[in-house]
Structure 1
Amino acid sequence: MRLRALLSLPLAALLFLPAACGDGDDDNKGTTGAAAKADPALNASLPEAIKKAGVIRFAGDSHPPYRIVGPDGKTVTGIDREIQEALGAVLGVKTEIEIVAGLPAALTGMQSGRYDAFNGPVKDTAEREKEFDAVVWMVTRTAYLIPKDSKAGIKTSDDLCGKKVAGTSGSIIEDQIKKLTTWCTGKGKPAPTFIGLADTNAIILAAKSGRADAAGMTESAAIDAMAKEKDAYTYVSQTDEQGAGVDQLAMLVPKSSKLGPVILQAFKAIFANGEYKRIMDKYGLQKVVVTEPKMNTAAG
């Protein structure tokens, strides 16, 4: 667009021009057409640093179907990419995803200011809420993926006692294994052994290779893995008696950034405009949706 034409535009139009003119060449950067959906009030409420940058930077590890990383290690598709684009559209900014090696790297990256948010799915806990605002946007149950040719004899979640279970380090699964351990030992059975690895791909490989007897993950991730490799896996779900329950999964945002309350309002906007439902329906996640987004539910 020529300089003369730019100067003739009103200030409100210039405010949302960067989001509307995203480069479109980088599969991890931005959303096009954000100007048509952007809410000026939401954009105005963004922290000054983000308004100036015109972008929200997300950390993300490899976690299908939430983040499906392409062969180049940079191109990302999946639920998170679409949720982030929908949020960016109503906020009038672009979004970027940088792939990191697991949850600890995402948390430290946010604490250092390298990233603005991490979409998880990560459990909302009172401990995490000391440093991060947690915007809950879905729930889950814990599942354990098992290769069909496994000799471990896992038919129900009871059979996980005494077995080697791979899971993402620092994830909700690590916490669930602790609860399962309490149940197993209370029944006089041996405790499961947790093998902490970097991401979902790594834990599936561990189960497939025999390094682990099962791979712990969210139920939606287990269903996705089974769909990708037909007849290769089965899964069992941890029961309420074994401490599973329904976990609140959240997007984490550093409290110091003041971005959390704005993200909450952006989530409310994509619930209202139907984008949240469209995305969750697209990926078959009707069982894990919430009726409305909430923030910091664990500490309350």
Structure 2
Amino acid sequence: MRAKFALIPLVAAALALTGCAASGGESPAETADSAPTGADAPLYDLLPDDIKEAGVITMAGDTHPPYRTIESDGAFTGIDPDLQAALSAQLGVPFEMATSSGLDAMLTGMLSGRYDGFNGPVRATPEREADFDAIVWMTTRTSYVYPADKEKDFPDSEAVCGKRVAGVQGSVVETQLERLNEWCVAEGLDPAELIGLEDTNSTVLALNSGRADLVGTTQASAIDLIATQAGKYGYVMQTDEQGAGVDQLAMFLPKGSGLAEPMMAAFEAIFEDGQYEEIMAAYGIEDASVDKPVLNPYTG
């Protein structure tokens, strides 16, 4: 039986994009609101029976701007809800977000049937693909956010060496910081210290309180933080030489749930019709886009 916990409906009116496509087309929320539902939707027949019976896809969610922000009325806004609205128009059932915190809790919750999926940002790895189907839909590079009054202390990412970096436990930041530290040590510099915390809000609080010197986060989150709090922060980005590479971020779905095939088809559809490109452009993260979605890049 599919359990429900603290569900917050993704009401279409609350999900409007922060920007509109140059073509003037509908936003994903408007598309979902006017799209066929149930059996009339293009990909409804691909859904597993338990999803059809429930009439909803339950996703784990936390506060992680710009991917997800919980507004004062309890609604979620951001990249993730906008993406889900576009996918919903293809699948014929709405998405609901169940509030959760901490990557371990979300992964465990999916395996126990509490959630149908989680859209991260989570890095696809061979180990995670043992338990989950991963649909890669964007990339990222780790950025290190500092207080604006410390700008002279951080001319480039080399200055991260030896500093205290607040990051979300289990996130891509952990792996990227390990690579950066290897580079730091090779250069004769002290490694950075990771302060692992539960969520993004906690990392920013650590920075503001002086507990951390920097916040390690995705490029999209750094851009959003600086845009929403103008003049308060700056950031430097880890380089390829420092082991940044390009990590693949994915939506995770429990193995054997029957959701991988229809969800992948829905992603392919919104890539083809341009909605994916519109969403990425609306949030200014086109350089994190991928040419096409990929199912299970390591084990597929």
Whether the 8 Å contact between 2:10 and 2:76 is mirrored in structure 1 is no
Q: 2:229 matched to 1:229? A: yes
| Cα distance in 1 between the residues matched to 2:198 and 2:168 | 6
- After TM superposition, the structure 1 = structure 2 runs for residues 171-190 of structure 1, keeping only pairs within 5 Å, are 171-190=171-190
Which amino acid in the other structure matches residue 55 of structure 1?
V
Q: Which residue of 2 aligns with 1:57?
A: 58
TM-score, scaled relative to structure 2: 0.86
Which amino acid in the other structure matches residue 256 of structure 1?
G
SS of 2:236's partner is strand
Q: Which residue of 1 aligns with 2:147?
A: 147
SS of 2:221's partner is helix
Any gaps of 5 or more consecutive residues in structure 1? 1-21
Whether the 8 Å contact between 1:39 and 1:90 is mirrored in structure 2 is no
Q: Which residue of 2 aligns with 1:216?
A: 216
Q: Which residue of 1 aligns with 2:297?
A: 297
| Cα distance in 1 between the residues matched to 2:183 and 2:244 | 11
Q: Which residue of 1 aligns with 2:84?
A: 84
Once the two structures are overlaid, the 10-residue window that deviates more, 276-285 or 225-234, is 276-285
Q: CA deviation at 1:153?
A: 2.2
Any gaps of 5 or more consecutive residues in structure 2? 1-8, 16-28
Deviations 1:107-162, CA, capped at 9 Å, x for gaps:
11101101001011111111110001110111111100100123892221111111
Once the two structures are overlaid, the 10-residue window that deviates more, 265-274 or 150-159, is 150-159
Whether the 8 Å contact between 1:163 and 1:213 is mirrored in structure 2 is yes
Whether the 8 Å contact between 2:37 and 2:93 is mirrored in structure 1 is no
Q: Which residue of 2 aligns with 1:275?
A: 275
CA RMSD, Structure 1 to Structure 2 (Å)? 2.2
Q: CA deviation at 1:39?
A: 6.3
Deviations 1:61-101, CA, capped at 9 Å, x for gaps:
211001011135x3210010010111111100010012211
Q: 2:162 matched to 1:156? A: no
| Cα distance in 1 between the residues matched to 2:57 and 2:285 | 25
Q: CA deviation at 1:266?
A: 0.5
Whether the 8 Å contact between 1:103 and 1:169 is mirrored in structure 2 is yes
| Cα distance in 1 between the residues matched to 2:202 and 2:10 | 33
Whether the 8 Å contact between 1:166 and 1:197 is mirrored in structure 2 is yes
Whether the 8 Å contact between 1:38 and 1:89 is mirrored in structure 2 is no
Q: Which residue of 1 aligns with 2:165?
A: 165
Displacement over 3 Å in runs of 4+: 22-28, 36-41
| Cα distance in 1 between the residues matched to 2:292 and 2:101 | 30
- After TM superposition, the structure 1 = structure 2 runs for residues 1-300 of structure 1, keeping only pairs within 5 Å, are 24=11, 31-35=32-36, 40=41, 42-72=43-73, 74-150=74-150, 153-299=153-299
Which amino acid in the other structure matches residue 171 of structure 1?
S
The number of aligned residues is 277
Whether the 8 Å contact between 1:47 and 1:259 is mirrored in structure 2 is yes
Whether the 8 Å contact between 2:66 and 2:79 is mirrored in structure 1 is yes
Distance 1:23 1:245, change over 3 A: closer
TM-score, scaled relative to structure 1: 0.86
Whether the 8 Å contact between 1:39 and 1:91 is mirrored in structure 2 is no
SS of 1:257's partner is coil
| Cα distance in 1 between the residues matched to 2:277 and 2:12 | 27
| Cα distance in 1 between the residues matched to 2:77 and 2:12 | 14
Deviations 1:32-60, CA, capped at 9 Å, x for gaps:
33317986452111111001111100001
Equivalent pairs: percent with the same residue? 49
